[in-house]
Amino acid sequence: MRRKPFNPFEAAIWKRLAETMLVEPSRMAITPQQVVDNLQGIFGNIEGNTPRDTALSVIATWVVLGGPIWHFAPRSFRIWRIERRLKNSRVDLFQDMARIRGIVYAGYYGHWIDQDDANVSDAAAEDANRANPVFNAIGFTLPRHRTRAGTPDDPLITEHTGNDLPYTVFVGEEAIPDSVEVVVIGSGAGGAVAASNLADQGYEVLVVEAGPYLPSARMTPNEAHMSSSLFKDGAIQTTRNRDIIVFQGRTVGGSTVVNNGICLRLAREGETHPDAHDVLAHWRSIGAPVDEDALEAAYCRVETRLGVHEIDRRLGRNNGTRLLQGWDAYAAGSSDPLDARAVTGWFRKNWGQKNEPNACVSCGYCNTGCPYGRKKAMPESFLRHATLHAPRKARILAHAAVSHIGWSGRDDQGRKVASSVQVLLPDGRAKTIRVTKGVVVAAGTIASSNILSASGIEGTGKGISLNIACPVPALMPGPVNAWDEDQMATFVDRADFLIESHFQPPMSMASLVPGWFDEHFRRMLNYNRLASAGVLFPADRRGTIRKGKLGFELEQSDLAVLRRALATLTKVHFRGGAEEVYPALLHGETLARGMSDAEIDRFFEENIEEPDDVVLSSSHPHGGNAIHADPARGVVDLDQRVHGVANVLVTDASVMPSCIRVNAQLTTMAMSDRVTHGKRVFG
């Protein structure tokens, strides 16, 4: 029986919120009780403290709204109280509570008709959801039910499992070795590359991953289940002040399993704005130089392994092309030199190409894993090589979190020597694994900082950067069906920010579409007419980890870039024919066609005063254990070895000494490859 994390009292609050936040229950496609049941399923699948913390938050919200007076009042009164206490509040705590409506939307738009048979095929599960009333109400068609010609340019949507990892590469809880040569902590972009390179050199490698392994054969278009299975904290992790949602994968393969496969270099001709911040030059200026030739060679090796290529135009035929067309129309009338010199294009990605067995079928489910096995993320590439093809095959211990590294004195240079790691299993048991050669830390910016700090390494968790995203959907005159293509296909590099085409399946899109009550419901009924893109801007070294959690404070200069970026994207939407634009502001305002550019600029100046005014997220935390030649200014040296430690290497995005401004996965892989390829790093 499934665990129900919300008790009857808490469930009753969720039900009342569903009856209030969405629309009159008689107009809902499912009942409010079904919304509650869906939320029980989502949070019952999330490990850790998140379900209990969320329950406490919903009780606190109920109290703020008026408790039983609010609960038993008519819907009109309940809406009025929510508008007064949450929607229109300037109190930070109440503004944070207002975000709880996104959870209600997930319970409604994440509705999935389960099959009684746990072994039912994915195809049968999708067939059962032909009758999904929520999908039918908004006009959404699941991937296997879409009409396709069956050609390379219009492929049938079928499952490809040929790249799934076999169970033989995994170590069970009862077979954890007492001793190995090298432990790699984390299996994402940095850890997988390091594991592959070290296994190629003949090291005995054990990869330890905090999350479970889900092969494509176990992934489905059930957004609610996949989000709660594959993301840390079920994809609702936030910064300490709750201003920014931080998405991080918690599965074998890390965030590469749930990202969009975007492969942008720090700088590349034809891909980077000529006036963009020169990241490598800045690193040199602050004492953290990276050899450009070595990084270039690493980029090439990684891209070859992943099969990185510019995606086919078919993958962005609806939403992606609209962004480029809208930008061209906007830039033609702009006098801003940054607009004139902007670089536009189609993303390079690590999907299968159209004539390969794992060719992308544009299902639109990139962010909840690929249920059709078309990605070439870490499990399908570097981990597959490390465990199946390397001279000495690596093994993977999944669903086991490393708490700290153990030490055994110092070497003849006075450096500490790592001799063990302690892993924690889901049932609470701890196991110490002896390490005879070394440790690679690659658990992600937050987890790696926490592990190193718990291991006695000083200075960790400082100077953390984020690339921050903010979505802007728009209502077009006719059907767009943006869900029937690659989620992210095209981009504009405008130097101070990027614009990227972006769309989501129903549950995730509902959390991105701003708005309240009946208006949000109306916008989602127009799901098929929505086009969408988002802005991405750098927030450089604003973050610090305290007591295990990321604190991040945006500055006024960051908000100025955000206002400018959102205003620009709004104008691009209108130049592309949009009737209405819905910037992701807390109040959910509608901007209508006919507004002048000056009116648009003024709107954002007046309505974004602080981060709580807008919905912000990031999938790219980096920094915290920065490289630097000086031990007083960085946690790791220029070869990414922890200062003062003989045999611990850090190979994830936490080593980056400043914000890199673009999607992070490719550079994370290249930085890892740079220091592990062909090098006997542990003697």
Of the residues 577, 593, 618, which one is the last residue of a structural domain?
618
Can you tell me whether residue 60 is helix, strand or coil? helix
In a domain, 159, yes or no: no
Of the residues 618, 643, 666, which one is the last residue of a structural domain?
618
pLDDT grade, residue 226 (50/70/90)?
A: very high
Q: What is the pLDDT of residue 123?
A: 86
In a domain, 197, yes or no: yes
Q: Is the pLDDT of residue 674 over 80?
A: yes
Read off the pLDDT of residues 290-342 as tens digits, 9 standing for 90 and up: 999 999 999 999 999 999 999 999 888 899 999 999 999 999 999 999 999 99
Q: Is the pLDDT of residue 261 over 70?
A: yes
Q: Are residues 504 and 492 in the same domain?
A: yes
Which is nearest to 445 in space by CA: 235, 654, 669, 190?
A: 654
- The CATH number for 397's domain is 3.50.50.60
Sign for the CA dihedral angle at 562, 490, 258, 108 comes to positive
Q: What is the pLDDT of residue 233?
A: 94
Per the document, the length of the chain is 683
In a domain, 327, yes or no: no
Q: Is the pLDDT of residue 253 over 90?
A: yes
Q: Are residues 432 and 558 in the same domain?
A: no
DSSP state of 86: I
d(CA 12, CA 137): 25
Helix axes 189-200, 665-676, angle to 10 degrees: 30
Q: Are residues 596 and 536 in the same domain?
A: yes
The distance from CA 531 to its chain's CA centroid, rounded to whole angstroms, is 20
Residues in Cβ contact with 231 at an 8 Å cutoff, skipping those fewer than 6 apart: 237, 247, 248, 249, 250, 258
Q: Are residues 410 and 510 in the same domain?
A: no
Read off the pLDDT of residues 415-473 as tens digits, 9 standing for 90 and up: 999 999 999 999 999 999 999 999 999 999 999 999 999 999 999 999 999 999 999 99
User: To which residue do tokens 């959690």 refer?
Assistant: 549
Q: Are residues 548 and 425 in the same domain?
A: no
The mean pLDDT value for 337-353 works out to: 96
Q: Is the pLDDT of residue 1 over 60?
A: no
d(CA 33, CA 11): 9
Q: Tell me the two tokens of residue 396.
A: 């993977």
Q: Are residues 581 and 633 in the same domain?
A: no
Which is nearest to 215 in space by CA: 230, 235, 234?
A: 230
Residues in Cβ contact with 458 at an 8 Å cutoff, skipping those fewer than 6 apart: none
Of the residues 601, 618, 635, which one is the last residue of a structural domain?
618
Q: Is the pLDDT of residue 512 over 70?
A: yes
Q: Are residues 544 and 634 in the same domain?
A: no
In a domain, 223, yes or no: no
d(CA 555, CA 553): 6
Q: Are residues 485 and 558 in the same domain?
A: yes
Q: Are residues 491 and 432 in the same domain?
A: no
Q: What is the pTM of this model?
A: 0.96
CB 484 within 8 A of CB 361: no
Which is nearest to 295 in space by CA: 623, 654, 674, 664?
A: 674
Q: Are residues 294 and 429 in the same domain?
A: yes
- Strands 498-501, 490-493: pairing kind: antiparallel
User: To which residue do tokens 């479970």 refer?
Assistant: 212
**Mean pLDDT score of the chain:** 96
Residue 245, strand partner residues: 238, 617
Q: What is the pLDDT of residue 122?
A: 82
User: To which residue do tokens 């440790």 refer?
Assistant: 439
Q: Is the pLDDT of residue 386 over 60?
A: yes
Residue 410, strand partner residues: 416
Q: Is the pLDDT of residue 118 over 80?
A: no
In a domain, 546, yes or no: yes
Q: Are residues 469 and 598 in the same domain?
A: yes
Residue 475, strand partner residues: 530, 580
Which is nearest to 549 in space by CA: 94, 242, 209?
A: 242
d(CA 243, CA 231): 19
Sign for the CA dihedral angle at 444, 450, 456, 459 comes to positive
d(CA 615, CA 585): 6
Q: What is the pLDDT of residue 119?
A: 61
In a domain, 409, yes or no: yes
Q: Are residues 103 and 66 in the same domain?
A: yes
Distances (CA, A) of 111 to 15, 38, 258, 406, 618: 15, 6, 20, 46, 25
When divided into structural domains, the chain yields a total of 3
What b/e sequence results for 37-68 when a residue is b if at least 16 CB atoms lie within 10 Å of its CB, and e otherwise?
A: bbbbbbbebbbeebbeebbebbeebbebbeee
In a domain, 286, yes or no: yes
Domain assignment of residue 182, given as a range: 170-212+251-259+264-306+377-461+625-676
In a domain, 406, yes or no: yes
Q: What is the pLDDT of residue 605?
A: 98
